[in-house]
Amino acid sequence: MTAATFERQLAQHCSPAIAGIKPANIITFPVKEGEKGPGISRLAAGYDRYLKKRDLRFQILCECPGRCLLMVYRPSLLERHLRQPEIREILVREGYDTESLENMVGQLAGRVGRSGPCEFPHEIGLFLGYPVEDVVGFMENRGKNYLYSCYWKVYSDVERAKAWCSQWERVRDGLVKVVDSGVSISEMLCAGVMA
């Protein structure tokens, strides 16, 4: 995969986290046998080294045959989000060591790997910044009986969900346009154009 293709995919699927309006996004990359260029792991590691000083991290959650699951997150936002008492309570109940963000992200990666080929444990919605009541609703209803669906299944405030989804899509469209014009995500972040 080329760096340009990687950037385009990041803009398409992770722009809310890149822009700092959401704590994290995840993206699944197909891994094609014999594909030329650096692998996803190598690209992600390079971006992580370069952008961590800009409060943006790249964590491989799972490498499965045929695909790779990457989480792009803002450590400051994610840590603040996961420290909310009701979220922390759920994570503790689910067996997470909540002493540090690094521990929680590491445990999430381990759970993603154990869930099956790049599948998700239900609490991943907490890491992605979805409303607690929707994550709990998903767990209790096993993904059924939701009121609305956009980036997640909504069990509580549909209007809030619509507003968030609309905002995320505007940010996505803007970032894709900039990346397509030839400006890299790294250049934007280092120039202070985004969070």
Instruction: Note the pLDDT of residue 144.
Output: 95
Tell me if the pTM is above 0.85. yes
Strand partners, 69: 28, 62
Is pLDDT of 117 > 80? no
Q: Please, what is the average pLDDT of the chain?
A: 90
Whether the Cβ atoms of residue 72 and residue 61 lie closer than 8 Å to each other:
no
Residues 28 and 68: beta-carbon distance below 8 Å = yes
| pLDDT > 60? residue 195 | no
Lowest-pLDDT range of 79-83, 108-112, 115-119, 160-164: 115-119
pLDDT at res. 13: 96
Token pair listed for 112: 């993603």
Distance CA 183, CA 29 (A): 22
Place of tokens 């969070």: 195
Helix (H) or strand (E) holding 112, with range, is helix 101-114
Reduce the DSSP state of residue 46 to 3 states and report it.
helix
Return d(Cα 169, Cα 158) in angstroms, integer.
16
Q: What would the mean pLDDT of 146-153 be, rounded to a whole number? A: 95
List the structure tokens of 192. Answer: 């202070």
Q: What is the pLDDT of residues 3-53, one digit of tens each?
A: 889 999 999 999 999 999 999 999 999 877 666 556 888 999 999 999 999
| Section 93-115 average pLDDT | 91
Question: What pLDDT does 3 receive?
Answer: 85
Cβ atoms of residues 169 and 22 within 8 Å: no
Helix or strand run (H / E) with residue 8? helix 3-19
